[in-house]
Amino acid sequence: MKLVGSLTSPYVRKTRVVLAEKKIDCEFVIDSPWVDNSGVPDLNPLGKIPVLLLDDDTRLFDSRVIVEYLDGVAPNNKLLPSTARERALVKRWEALADGMTDAAVTIVLERRRPDDERSAGWIARHRVKIDRALVALAEDLGDGAWCHGNGITLADIAVGCALGYLDFRMPELDWRAAHPNLARLQEKLMQRPSLADTVPHE
Ligand code: GSF
């Protein structure tokens, strides 16, 4: 099995954290759709990372499909509950965290466009999504030790990677000041090698 992705992508990081938490061996092949001669479009028609290559050559994308697959194939350290309702609730955390990351990625890409093509309105629209998502994540976490239930789940991993991406690309946001309970969760998550060893960097 091979995971194709970059050291900066928050979606690839989420997948790497799940691999580590599940103790699944997987070769990490570094590639990015943003570099010349990238092999990614040949693996995923959408030209996006992560892509998981299975031993029989099956290609899995996107990260939500991959992490659900990984949790399902290894019985240890379950990260998704088995009942429909509980599972949906954990996946809703993931959808909110990933959606916040989507908005941050959109802003990062927009900021990279030439001055005369950049839209302040588009950036503001996505900034509002991030702010609302942070409020919702903080409200849902409350005083809880974990996002869902009594131990780490995919919800915590997705939130940890989303907050880590804000630190990486939008450090000016200072989400910790407004949401100390998210800061507390993030600090705890960062004590785990799975997250500490995958902090995004260029
Ligand atoms: C998002 C993948 C994605 O946008 C998932 O896998 O969860 N919902 C998908 N990946 C980015 C990398 S990232 O660092 O933003 C990507 O591959 N972008 C290339 C492109 O052409 O959009």
Task: Please give the number of the atom of ligand 1 that sits closest to the Cα of 47.
Answer: 21
Residue 181 Cα, ligand 1 centroid: separation in angstroms?
Answer: 28
User: How much distance in Å is there from the Cα of 150 to the middle of ligand 1?
Assistant: 31
State the distance from the centre of ligand 1 to the C-alpha of 113, rounded, in angstroms.
Answer: 17
Residues 6 or more apart whose CB falls under 8 angstroms from that of 187 comprise none
pLDDT band for 12, please (50, 70, 90 cuts): very high
DSSP state of 172: G
Distance CA 166, CA 43 (A): 28
pLDDT digits (tens, 9 = 90+) for 39-79: 999 999 999 999 999 999 999 999 999 999 999 999 999 99
Residues ≥6 apart with Cβ < 8 Å to 90: 79, 80, 81, 147, 148, 153, 154, 155
Among 3, 7, 11, name the best residue to mutate to test ligand 1's pocket (greatest count of ligand atoms within 8 A of Cβ). 11
Instruction: List pocket residues of ligand 1, CB cut-off 6 Å.
Output: 8-9, 11, 33, 47-50, 62-64, 98, 105
Q: What are phi and psi of 23, to 5 degrees?
A: 55, 45
pLDDT at 60 (0 to 100): 98
Predicted confidence (pLDDT) per residue in 29-39, tens digit: 999 999 999 99
Tell me, in angstroms, the distance from the centre of ligand 1 to residue 135's CA: 24
Identify the structural domains of the chain with CATH numbers, from first to last: 2-73 (3.40.30.10), 84-192 (1.20.1050.10)
Q: Which atom of ligand 1 is nearest to the CA of 101?
A: 15
- Tell which phi-psi region holds residue 148, choosing left (phi > 0), alpha (psi between -120 and 50) or beta: beta
Pocket test for ligand 1, best of 18, 48, 108, 161 (most atoms within 8 A of CB): 48
Those residues whose C-beta lies under 8 Å from the C-beta of residue 175, and which sit 6 or more positions away, are: 134, 163, 166, 182, 183
Model pLDDT for residues 137-193, shown as the tens digit of each residue: 999 999 999 999 999 999 999 999 999 999 999 999 999 999 999 999 999 999 999
Write the residue with the smallest CA distance to atom 22 of ligand 1.
48
Question: 107 pairs with which residues across the strands?
Answer: none
Q: With cut-offs at 50, 70 and 90, classify the pLDDT of residue 202.
A: confident
pTM for this structure? Answer: 0.98
Considering the chain, what is the average pLDDT of its residues? 97
**Substitution candidate for ligand 1 out of 34, 49, 69, 154 with most atoms within 8 A of CB:** 49
